[in-house]
Structure 1
Amino acid sequence: MRDLPPARFLDPATPPSVLTLTLLAGISALSMNVFLPSLPSMAAWYGVPYATMQLSVALYLALSAGLQVLIGPVSDRYGRRKVVLGSLILFLIATVATLVAPTAETFLIARMAQAVIASGMVLSRAIVRDMVSDERAASMIGYVTMGMSIVPMIGPVIGGVLDEAFGWQASFALLLVAGAAVTWLCWRDLGETSTPSDLGFTAQFAQYPGLLASQRFWGYTLAAALSSGCFFAYLGGAPFVGDQVFGLSSSRIGVLFALTALGYAAGNYLAGRYSMRVGMNRMVLVGTVITTLTCAAIMLLSLAEMTGPVTFFGLTLIIGIGNGICLPNANAGILSVRPELAGTASGLGGAINIGGGAALAALAGALLHPGASELPLAVLMFATSAGSVLAILWIMARARRIGLTA
């Protein structure tokens, strides 16, 4: 963290406001989920199987993971502002391409190009770390992501309504308009917060082994990746479950998707309110346990054939609370390993997180076939979340062993 002038709204010579960081991260989240209720109708439009269109989630996440490895070092080298603005412009071009794509294959290519907006999620966290110290980072990230979660909370609802009223293209038109607005806001308000590094890319990538050799980095990264992994599996499989298992309309699926984001917002509020008081590690543990117990409940209900749309989707609200408590603290832990490489650490941690999410989303799509129930998805969600509990317990045991506060 370096000395920065006080933030003044719409002054590009000062650090950005919380509103700008929230919307920057929000457009990244909106791009991930606004069109999910439209997946069945998109498959029908292009005349391809659902599993093909579901790749628009898995491939997007996979490329997003790869880009995050590059985004962090590039922003450490050239500064946050240039990378954010460049990524937003490329995102707008890719969004136009999704609207005019004539085939499923060209749509998927354009959809993968949209993954450049991953910079919004990565760099909003790195900018927070530029602006505040370790002890405040988890709290501020919690408040930023609490506001950010409002965007994906309403996104699937709007996407489902737009799909039924105007067709699936309307969701991507919304992304185009929202992306243009966030681009203008960042141009006017997002001042540079980092000191560009003198290290070349080779030297910066040489820092990766130091991060990858850190038990703390892996512990926090795995806690975040596995806790959110159940959510990514849910993203890949829930549209199928809503449409094929429960027979719900696009708009109804969109409304039920909002429950997870509502829970995430509540969890983010709790993270912002209590992280400094309770402690980063304990908050991660609380969040992962909440998520895992809820996934276990969904799995057991599914085994007993007692699930319905209300119980299946309703319990994901509690999963959202657990993720909302865990992730701001786990991300703050990732950034605290090497504060001078906040962008690199955020990008590498995010790449592992999103890369794992891409694999889980694809696996969820592969497990769900015509005639399948929601049980394979429920088992996958429980298994990944249980791993997150083990990851944070490992970090806490190590902290006690070397005499640190757990």
Structure 2
Amino acid sequence: MISETGLRQPKLITLILLTAISVLSLNMFLPALAQMASSFEVSYAVISVAVGGYMVVSSALQLIIGPLSDMYGRRPVILAGMAIFTVASVGCYFASNVWLFLALRMLQGAVISGMVLSRAVVRDIAPPQEAARLLGMIGTAMALAPLMGPVLGGFLGETFGWRANFIAYAIMGALMFALSWHDLAETNLTPSDSFTAQFRSYPELFKSKVFWAYCLCLIGSVGGFYAFLGGAALVGEGLFGLTPSQLGIGIGSISAGFMLGNFLTGRLSGRIPMLRLMLWGRLSATFGPLVIICIMALGAMNFWVMFAGAIFVGLGNGLTLPAANAGVMSVNPRLAGSASGLSGAITILGGAGATALTGALAGGPLGAYVLLGLMAASSGLGLLAVLWIAQLERV
């Protein structure tokens, strides 16, 4: 298919799966973390590096992936990322000690190229309003990945052991390499001259208030999601005594809301201004958890009520993130890949901080309140950022 910009457009399913595999690499094995700690005979804090360390590595890689794709093209960088992820996944399956496992787990971070560059491909082939619509459609379908990922991971862990998750990753990576090779034509037809020139473009983005406003919106939005990931297992197991399979279903609740939000974005983009969708999303994600806190304080203290708060955050993110991602890449379309990588790196670093903070604070009998409070606080930061964007765009 030829897009409005005259480029051969990859199939929508390819872009969906490139994003989905990046999400699955983070959350599918989460229900098996305790099992992994027991297998390697290490503490939960050590094995949690598989999450926190992976996020830091993914963040750093995005700083490189964006400029590399602006220089060499989207296709070769995506193919390299899928190949590295596949080999590293096989290594994780066979790892004999925790340190080898963690080293190979960090290499799995190369899969983040799928998420970063699928967004850049959309920006290559579509103008901003159409890009927001496409990103919303991609988000609707790919939200099934984080919804089903923990459920699948919990089942694999209970049935075949935690290592089954990583052989599943290897199979997914190999299939995505083959699909990308077949379907993903190059969409960056104006490559930059040099890698260092791309890094010199970062100050240009740093000087843009609009870029920073969108980044803060992304940090606040994604921070609520990562706060949930960092605390859901701790609260679910410690406070409510959930099994890995039950926990997998609970973790998937935020993705159910995200899928609904993305569906609404795909339907409403083009008819409702992007900024208004972002505002609606931030209001849902900020005040939804606060309402749930009040309900729990009145006596409805159970895990189903707590996970209902996560649905509001997921819904808000589904309304906000497609427009925010399209907006941050439209600050300077010539630097779409760099903007996607840089904003993604900043966002994941913020998410890593939210995960660490939740893990440190959400233990104990008040853990559910702390978890929802941190999710609301992070989402509130995103709400303030949307108001800042509105002010800047009126100038």
What TM-score comes out, normalization by structure 1 length?
A: 0.93
What aligned pairs does 1:234-245 form with structure 2 within 5 A after superposition?
Answer: 234-245=228-239
Decide whether the 8 Å contact of 1:156 with 1:254 is kept in 2. Answer: yes
Query: Higher mean Cα deviation, 301-310 or 280-289?
Result: 301-310
- The secondary structure found in structure 2 opposite 1:111 is helix
Note the residue ranges of structure 1 that are not aligned, 5 or more in a row: 6-13
Map of 1:362 onto structure 2: 356
Aligned to 1:56: 50
In structure 1, what is the Cα distance between the partners aligned to 2:294 and 2:49?
A: 29
Matched ranges for 1:161-172 at <5 A: 161-172=155-166
Cα offset for 1:213?
1.1
Q: Which amino acid aligns with 1:324?
A: G
Q: Which amino acid aligns with 2:165?
A: S
Matched, 1:46 2:46: no
Structure 1 counterpart of 2:203: 209
1:104 to 98, 102, 123: 98
Q: Which residue of 1 aligns with 2:174?
A: 180
User: 2:315 corresponds to which letter in structure 1?
Assistant: I
Counterpart residue type for residue 6 of structure 2: L
CA contact (8 A) 1:51 1:366 kept: no
In 2, Cα distance between equivalents of 1:382 and 1:99: 37
**How many Å separate the matches in 1 of 2:99 and 2:239?**
27
Native 8 Å contact 1:302 1:378 kept in 2: no
TM-superposed CA distance for 1:135, in Å, is: 1.9
Aligned to 1:9: none
Residue of structure 1 aligned with 2:117, choices 101, 106, 123: 123
Give structure 1 regions of 4+ aligned residues with deviation exceeding 4 angstroms. 301-305, 369-372
Aligned to 1:342: 336
Question: Aligned pair 1:396/2:374, yes or no?
Answer: no
Q: 1:218 aligns with which of 205, 212, 217?
A: 212
Is the partner of 2:270 in helix, strand or coil?
helix
Give the secondary-structure state (helix, strand or coil) at the position aligned to 1:15.
Answer: coil
Q: Distance in 2 between matches of 1:60 and 1:352?
A: 14
Q: 1:124-172 deviations in whole A, cap 9, x for unaligned?
A: 0000001111221101111011111112211111111111111111111
8 A contact 1:64–1:355 mirrored in 2: no
Q: How far is 1:304 from its partner?
A: 5.6
Deviation at 1:105, TM superposition (A): 2.2
Q: CA deviation at 1:299?
A: 3.8
Are the equivalent residues in 1 in contact too, given 2:292–2:308 (CA < 8 A)? no
Amino acid at match of 2:57: L
- Which stretch shifts more, 80-89 or 144-153? 144-153
- Secondary structure at the aligned position of 1:199 is classed as coil
Q: In the superposition, relative to structure 1, how do residues 105 and 336 fare at CA in structure 2: closer, same or farther (>3 Å)?
A: same
CA distance in 2, matches of 1:48, 1:370: 22
User: Quick one: which of 18, 25, 30 aligns to 1:31?
Assistant: 25
Q: Cα RMSD between the aligned structures? A: 1.7
Aligned positions of 1:57-76 closer than 5 A: 57-76=51-70
> Contact conserved, 1:87 with 1:117, CA < 8 A, in 2?
yes
CA 1:44–1:334: 2 relative to 1, 3 Å:
same
Q: For residues 270 and 2 of structure 1, what CA distance do their matches in structure 2 show?
A: 23
Identity of aligned residues (%): 42
Does 2:222 correspond to 1:228? yes
In the alignment, does 2:136 pair up with 1:145? no
Give the C-alpha shift of residue 103 in structure 1: 2.0
Asked if 2 retains the 8 angstrom alpha-carbon contact of 1:2 and 1:130, the reply is no
Structure 2 residue matching 1:217: 3-state secondary structure: helix
1:41 Cα offset (Å): 1.3
| Matched-pair contact (CA < 8 Å) for 1:2–1:194 | no
Contact 2:229 2:251 in 1 (8 A): no
TM-score using structure 2 length: 0.95
Moved more, 370-379 or 325-334: 370-379
DSSP 3-state at the match of 2:96: coil
Q: Distance in 2 between matches of 1:399 and 1:327?
A: 18
Q: Is the 8 A contact 2:227 2:351 kept in 1?
A: yes
Compute the displacement of 1:359 (Å).
1.6
Given the superposition, is the C-alpha separation of residues 49 and 19 from structure 1 closer, same or farther in structure 2, using an over 3 Å criterion? same
Q: Distance in 2 between matches of 1:127 and 1:376?
A: 39
Query: 1:183 deviation in Å?
Result: 0.9
1:365 and 1:55 mapped to 2: Cα distance? 12
CA contact (8 A) 2:128 2:330 kept: yes
Q: Is the CA contact 2:29–2:165 (under 8 Å) kept in the aligned structure 1?
A: yes
The match for 2:74 is 80
Q: Structure 1 pair 301/42, CA: closer, same or farther in 2 (3 Å)?
A: farther
Alignment-derived partner of residue 4 in structure 1: 6
Q: What is the rounded CA distance, in whole Å, between the counterparts of 1:132 and 1:44 in structure 2?
A: 48
Shifted more, 293-302 versus 350-359: the winner is 293-302
Change (3 A) 1:249 1:377: same
